[in-house]
Chains A and B, each alone.
Chain A
Amino acid sequence: MRGAGRRLMPLLRPRNLVLASVGALLVAWPYLGADRFVLHVAALTFVWAVVASYWNLTNGFAGITSLGNMGFFAIGAYTSAVLAKELDLTPWATMPVGALATMALVTVLVGLPVLRLRGIYIALLTLAFADALPSVITIFRAWTGGGIGLLGIPELLEDLEKWQAYYFALAFFAVAQAALVLVVRGAPGLAFVALRDSEPFAQALGVDRFKEGLRVFAISAFFTGFAGALYAHLLGQISPAMLGIEQFLMVISMWMLGGAGTLLGPVLGAAIITFGNEYLRVAGSLRLGLLGLAIVITVLFFPGGIMQLVGRARGFLTRPRRGGSDPDTVDGAALPVGSGSETGEGR
C-alpha cells in the first residue's frame, strides 16, 4: 500500500492537479453555459494551439528557425479538403491522408534541402516555401478554387453543431499535446534540445544532426498538417489568405508570447491571441495594433514570454526567505532568462 501511495504521489503534484482541473473544466465547458460563439472560438484556439506548439517544437525546442509552418498548415488543409470534395471521401479518411501528405512533402521538399543549411538561410528557404504556395494554389485553381478559395468543404458530421466541433477540436488538441509531451520528454526531445544548446558537442556525443532535423520536421509537419485539415473541415472554407502575413504573425506571436521552448506557453499564447483577436474586433482597426503592443511589451520585458512570468512568480513564492540556497543556482549565480529555463517546464 505504501509503495502504491509513493507511486501516486507525483501525480498529485500541484501542477498536475491544476492541469487535471483545467482539463475537466474544458470538457465540461459546453455544459456550463458557453454560447455558440465562444465554443467556436475555443475550437479554433485548440487548432491554433497545436499549430503554435509544433512550430515551437522546430523553433523553440530544436532551435531550427523555420518560418514555413503556415505552409505545412495550408498543405494539410488543401489536401484534405480537395480529396474530400473532389473524391467525395469522408473527412475522417482525408484528414490523416492530408497530415501524411504534409509530412512527406515537407520532409522531402523542405527538410532534406534545409538541413544542409544553417541559421538565417533555413529561415529564408522555409519562408520561400510557404510563400510559393499561393502560386501553386492558383495554378491548380480547378481543384483549389484559386485566389477565391475553396468553399463547401465537407464537414466532419452532417449539420455539425458548434459543441460537436468543440469536442472534436479538444480531442485533437489533447492527442497532439500528449504526443508532443512524449516527443519532448523522450529521446527525440533530448536530441533536439542538445542540438539547439550545443550542436558540436551533441554531434561529438553521437547525435545525428541530419536525422534528428528530419525527424523534427516530419513530426511538426504531420501535426500541423492535421491541424490544417481539421481547420478546413471545421470552417467549411479555406483560401490562400491563410498564408498571408497576418495569419503568419499571429501564430508566431502565439508561441513567442507564451514562451518559446516551453510546452504550456504556446497553448496560453494561442488562447490569449485567438480570443483577444475576436473580442478586440470592437476596437476596429486598433485590434492588431493592441495585440502587437502586447507582444512588443512582452518581448521587450519578458523575452521568455508568459511562462517566464509564471516561473518568476513560482520562484518568488518558493524562494527560501532566510538562509539556504536557491535550488536552481550553483555557486549563488542566477539563471539566464528565456527558453523555458526559468519555468523548469521546458527541456
Chain B
Amino acid sequence: MSVLEVSDLAKRFGSLEALRGVSFAVEEGEVFGIAGPNGAGKSVLFACIAGFYRPSSGSIRLDGEEIVGLGPHQICHRGLVRTFQTPALFHSLSIRENVLIGARFGGAKEDRVEDILRFLDLERVAERRAVNLDLFTTKRVVLAAALATGCRVLLLDEPMAGFSFGEVERYLDLVAEIRRTCGVTILIIEHLLDVLIGVSDRMMILHHGQVLFSGPPDEVRRHQGVVDVYLGGGTGG
C-alpha cells in the first residue's frame, strides 16, 4: 500500500490555479523527487500535504486515511513532517531545545533527542543557541528536529539550496543514512536536477501546477515536455 496518495489535487488562490489535478502515490521507504520551474506549484503542493493550505479540491491520504482538513500539528502527529525552503529555527533556544520541541510536541519519546543529535553530529554544538549558524548546520538542525518527531514521511523543500558541492554530497549521505537506518519515506523538492536524479527512486516534474512527468529518474532527461519547459535544450541540473 502507498504511504502517501495524492489524488486530483487542486489549489486556487482567487483566479490563480497553483495546482491542477495533481495525482501521485509514494511507496513506503521511497525517495520521491519533485522538480519544476519556479512557480510550478512545488511548495504549494507541500503546503497542502502538510496541512498549511487547505486544498480547493482533491484528496490526500496518509496510510490510507484522509488528511485534508487536518492542521499541520495533527498531520505531524500522524507521522508526516515538512521542512521549509528558508529554514527558520527557534533562534532563542539552544540546538538541543530545537530538537526537543520535535520530540516533545511531535509525539515521540524524548530519549530520542540524544541519539538524533549524535546521528547528525550535533552533539558538540547542542548547547549553543540556534542563531548565526552556518547553513549546513542549520539544515542539520532542521532535519534533527523533524526526525525527533518520529515521522515516517519527511517532506524536504529545497534542502540543498545554497550549499557548496561538498555540502551537497554530505547532505545526500545524510539522506541515504536516514533512509537506511530510520526507514523514513522522503519527498524532496530540489532544483539541482542531477542531484535529484541521483537520489530519487522516482520523480515528478510539475509545470504550471500540473504533472508534466512522473516516472523513473533516468527517463526525465529524455522526456520532451521536460526538455522543452524545464531543461531548455537538454541541459539541466
Collect the chain A residues with CB atoms within 8 Å of residue B50's CB.
Answer: 204
Digitize A58-101: 1 where CB-to-B-CB distance is under 8 Å, 0 elsewhere.
00000000000000000000000000000000000000000000
Chain B nearest Cβ from A226, distance in angstroms: 28
Interchain CB contact (< 8 A) of B93 among A193, A200, A329:
A193
Collect the chain A residues with CB atoms within 8 Å of residue B82's CB.
Answer: 204
Chain A, interface size category, equals 20 to 34
Cβ-based interface call for B71 (8 A) = yes
Q: Are A190 and B83 in contact (CB under 8 A)?
A: no
With A190-B104, A202-B90, A336-B131 given, is the CB distance from A207 to B73 under 8 Å? yes
Q: Are B145 and A190 in contact (CB under 8 A)?
A: no
Chain A nearest Cβ from B36, distance in angstroms: 22
CA distance A162 to B32 in the complex (A): 71
Cβ-based interface call for B133 (8 A) = yes
Digitize B77-97: 1 where CB-to-A-CB distance is under 8 Å, 0 elsewhere.
100011110011111110001
Collect the chain A residues with CB atoms within 8 Å of residue B148's CB.
Answer: 205
Which of A39-47, A287-295, A338-346 lies at the interface? Answer: A338-346
Q: Are A198 and B73 in contact (CB under 8 A)?
A: no
Q: Are B131 and A335 in contact (CB under 8 A)?
A: yes
Collect the chain B residues with CB atoms within 8 Å of residue A197's CB.
Answer: 88-93
Across the A-B interface, how many residue pairs have beta carbons closer than 8 Å?
112
Chain B, 126-162, CB within 8 A of any chain A CB = 128-129, 131-134, 137, 142, 145-146, 148-149
Chain A nearest Cβ from B123, distance in angstroms: 15
Q: Are A341 and B129 in contact (CB under 8 A)?
A: yes
Cβ-based interface call for A201 (8 A) = yes
Q: Are A206 and B84 in contact (CB under 8 A)?
A: no
Cβ-based interface call for A347 (8 A) = yes
With A187-B104, A205-B149, A329-B132 given, is the CB distance from A193 to B73 under 8 Å? no
Interchain CB contact (< 8 A) of B105 among A207, A210, A261, A333:
A207
Interchain CB contact (< 8 A) of A339 among B84, B92, B104:
B92
Chain A, 170-202, CB within 8 A of any chain B CB = 187, 190-191, 193-194, 196-198, 200-202
Q: Are A328 and B90 in contact (CB under 8 A)?
A: no
Which residue on B lies nearest to A210, using beta carbons? Answer: B71
Cβ-based interface call for A317 (8 A) = no
Interchain CB contact (< 8 A) of A204 among B81, B107, B133, B137:
B81
Collect the chain B residues with CB atoms within 8 Å of residue A261's CB.
Answer: 92
CA distance A202 to B104 in the complex (A): 11
Cβ-based interface call for B172 (8 A) = no
Chain B, 48-76, CB within 8 A of any chain A CB = 50, 52, 71-73, 76
Which residue on A lies nearest to B107, using beta carbons? Answer: A206
Q: Are A205 and B128 in contact (CB under 8 A)?
A: no
Collect the chain B residues with CB atoms within 8 Å of residue A329's CB.
Answer: 132
> Considering residues A205, A333, A334, A339, which has the most beta carbons from chain B within 10 angstroms of its beta carbon?
A205
Cβ-based interface call for A158 (8 A) = no
List 10 additional contacts besides A330-B128, A331-B133; criterion CB under 8 Å. Answer: A197-B89, A198-B88, A201-B145, A202-B101, A203-B76, A204-B52, A206-B106, A330-B131, A336-B131, A347-B92
A-B contact pairs, 30 of them (CB 8 A): A190-B101, A193-B92, A194-B101, A196-B92, A197-B88, A198-B89, A198-B90, A198-B91, A200-B52, A201-B90, A201-B142, A201-B145, A203-B71, A204-B76, A205-B149, A206-B102, A206-B107, A207-B73, A207-B101, A207-B105, A208-B71, A209-B73, A330-B128, A330-B133, A331-B133, A335-B132, A336-B91, A340-B92, A341-B129, A347-B93
